[in-house]
Amino acid sequence: MALRFLSVVGARPQFVKAAVITRALAKAGLKEVMVHTGQHFDREMSDVFFEDLAIPPPQFNLGVSGGSHAEMTADMLRALEPVMVAQHPDFVLVYGDTNSTVAASLCAAKLHYPIAHIEAGLRSFERRMPEEVNRVMTDHLSTVLFCPTQTAVQNLSREGIVTDVHHVGDVMFDAALHVASMDQRSMVLGRLGLQPKGYAVATIHRAENTDEYSALEKVCTWLSARAEQQKIVMPMHPRTRNALNRTGLSLSGIDVIDPVGYVDMMQLISHAAFVYTDSGGLQKEAYFYRVPCVTLRQQTEWVETIECGWNRLWSQRDYATPRRDIEDYGKGQAGEQIVQILLDMVQATNSAADLKRFSEHRIR
């Protein structure tokens, strides 16, 4: 059976996750069509990641960026529909929790294409976060759900989602291992004049930290205070740069640099003394390299990083939990497991029509 998988991506973390699946699909001899919504459109936030991860550029770029959450999601839906209809995929693959994720899920559900959600079941239990809304909606629309942790599986079970749920480990761990094995080496430390363990890495981009003056001021104050104690390097997200320009706030004492590619970012994290971030992905990437992390949020969906002592919320005073390994993230084979499960699902059905009926059972 000639199967066709349509992957929808739009933001940096999704490029990393999708690269793992792209390699696994290629290894299995399966056809993938990748669609880039355009949510991250800067070269430093987009093109360079495909180059770093050594995967082909997307076949479609929808060029949708900017506007409110509603405007962006609506524009993505409008642009995705004709692509999906023309490609007629056997599965639509969505990643994480962005507007691109929920738009692709809504579009596929309306067209009755089966949806595979990679990184399903995460919950911060904070519905004011747009990412949390996107996660919940996508999980309840999806046909098959691939969870990075057992906690994610339990979250889905509490919401009544118990069929076609699989704990496969974390595809971002697969990606980190792949980069570590690549011949390509980053020279970013030399370019920036950094010494291993002589600096911290900071990133800020979440709406909860950038949309309101008081929240952004709190972040700037917190980071600037730490910059008095240690060197902090901050690759600046476009949203954060715009917010600082809009508010007139500044990051005193922090070495602000342009966004960097994936390989450079992993090099920066792996040699850092600390990571300060509101990014879900960087919380885990810090753990992969056994670098302590402080999450600049009031909660995190990656509770294992806190429970195992590698991460803490900025409201917590210190690291009180003994550090231990996080077994749930797997051994770097999540991508291959996902592809095998999808193949097994297809082989267990009589026809593509049976698969499409799977996509209807959660939204009746």
Q: Looking at residue 77, which CATH number applies to its domain?
A: 3.40.50.2000
**Residue 364 pLDDT:** 40
Q: Are residues 114 and 8 in the same domain?
A: yes
- Provide the domain limits for residue 234: 187-327
351: confidence class by pLDDT, cuts 50, 70, 90: low
Q: Report the chain's mean pLDDT, rounded to a whole number.
A: 91
**Residue 183 pLDDT:** 55
E-state strands within the chain? 4-9, 31-36, 60-61, 91-95, 115-118, 144-147, 165-167, 200-203, 232-235, 255-257, 274-277, 293-295, 311-313
| Alpha-carbon distances, residue 110 vs 36, 104, 107, 145 (angstroms) | 20, 10, 5, 18
Q: Are 161 and 136 in contact (CB under 8 A)?
A: no
**Residue 141 pLDDT:** 98
Can 178 be counted among the known catalytic residues? Answer: no
The answer to whether residue 10 is domain-embedded is yes
Question: Mean per-residue pLDDT for 344-354?
Answer: 70
132: confidence class by pLDDT, cuts 50, 70, 90: very high
Question: Mean per-residue pLDDT for 152-163?
Answer: 97
The C-alpha atoms of residue 220 and residue 222 are separated, in whole angstroms, by 6
Q: What is the pLDDT of residues 214-257, one digit of tens each?
A: 999 999 999 999 999 999 999 999 889 999 999 999 999 999 99
The answer to whether residue 182 is domain-embedded is no
Q: Are residues 154 and 196 in the same domain?
A: no
Q: Are residues 23 and 117 in the same domain?
A: yes
Question: Mean per-residue pLDDT for 65-83?
Answer: 93
The answer to whether residue 66 is domain-embedded is yes
Q: Are residues 317 and 191 in the same domain?
A: yes
Q: Are residues 8 and 151 in the same domain?
A: yes
The answer to whether residue 352 is domain-embedded is yes
Question: Mean per-residue pLDDT for 140-164?
Answer: 97
Tokens of 265: 């970012």
Question: Of the candidates 172, 180, 203, 177, which has an alpha carbon nearest to the alpha carbon of residue 95?
Answer: 172
**Residue 346 pLDDT:** 82
Q: Are residues 20 and 96 in the same domain?
A: yes
The active-site residue out of 36, 205, 237, 271 is 205
The answer to whether residue 160 is domain-embedded is yes
- The residue ranking higher by pLDDT, 215 or 39, is 215
The answer to whether residue 57 is domain-embedded is yes
**Residue 319 pLDDT:** 82
Q: Name the pairing type of β-strands 31-36 and 60-61.
A: parallel
Q: Are residues 28 and 43 in the same domain?
A: yes
Q: What is the pLDDT of residues 267-323, one digit of tens each?
A: 999 999 999 999 999 999 999 999 999 999 999 999 999 999 999 999 988 888 899
Q: Are residues 87 and 191 in the same domain?
A: no
Question: Mean per-residue pLDDT for 50-67?
Answer: 86
Percent over 90 (pLDDT), the chain: 77
Q: Are residues 146 and 270 in the same domain?
A: no
The answer to whether residue 125 is domain-embedded is yes
| Alpha-carbon distances, residue 144 vs 17, 114, 358 (angstroms) | 17, 8, 9
The answer to whether residue 181 is domain-embedded is no
Q: Are residues 207 and 348 in the same domain?
A: no
Q: Are residues 152 and 248 in the same domain?
A: no
Q: How many separate domains does the chain show?
A: 2
- The residue ranking higher by pLDDT, 348 or 89, is 89
Q: Are residues 191 and 299 in the same domain?
A: yes
- The residue ranking higher by pLDDT, 53 or 10, is 10
**Residue 66 pLDDT:** 81
